[in-house]
Amino acid sequence: MSPRKVTSTDSGRSGRTVAARDDAPEASARDFALDAARAASELKCAEVTVLDVRGLSPVCDFMVVASGTSERQMRAVAQEIEDLGKERGSPPFRQSRDGGDTWIVIDFVHVVVHLLEPEQRAFYDLDGLWNDAPRVPWRRTAK
């Protein structure tokens, strides 16, 4: 993904300006979201959902939401998905974790991945918040 024409600041601490990535081809962002969902599932996340938020969110095109089982497992899943992005030449733009690693957000600009412990997922209800977003099937079909 190439640099966008606009810039934004990083997490706000340094105030430095960083280049965001340009609009990725739709298929590339979608494929990455599907592969991130598969990686989360393979690493034992539950209730993995891919939401198509194009036209609904000004922030990204796809969201992946998954429930983890522990802090350690969620950190491992986050690292795997970050590595997947790096392999494809699209490292995370930003990552955020709450104090106890009960909610990890990885921002790839066009795809945002949310890894939450089940209690956090139920409380914040991202699935309900984005209820209007179409769910994208991510499981591979048998040929």
DSSP letter string, 95-107: EEE-TTSSEEEEE
Domain ranges of the chain: 24-129
pLDDT digits (tens, 9 = 90+) for 33-46: 999 999 999 999 99
Q: What is the three-class DSSP state of 78? A: helix
Please say if the pLDDT value at position 58 is more than 60. yes
* Alpha carbons 22 and 136: distance in angstroms, whole number: 23
| Single pTM value for the model | 0.80
Instruction: Please tell me the distance from the alpha carbon of residue 115 to that of residue 40, in angstroms, as a whole number.
Output: 9
pLDDT at 101 over 60: yes
pLDDT score at 12? 38
Pairing of strands 103-107, 94-97: antiparallel
CATH of segment(s) 24-129: 3.30.460.10
Cβ neighbours of residue 45 under 8 Å, at least 6 residues apart? 66, 67, 68, 69, 73, 74, 77, 115
In this predicted structure, the answer to whether residue 103 has a pLDDT above a threshold of 70 is: yes
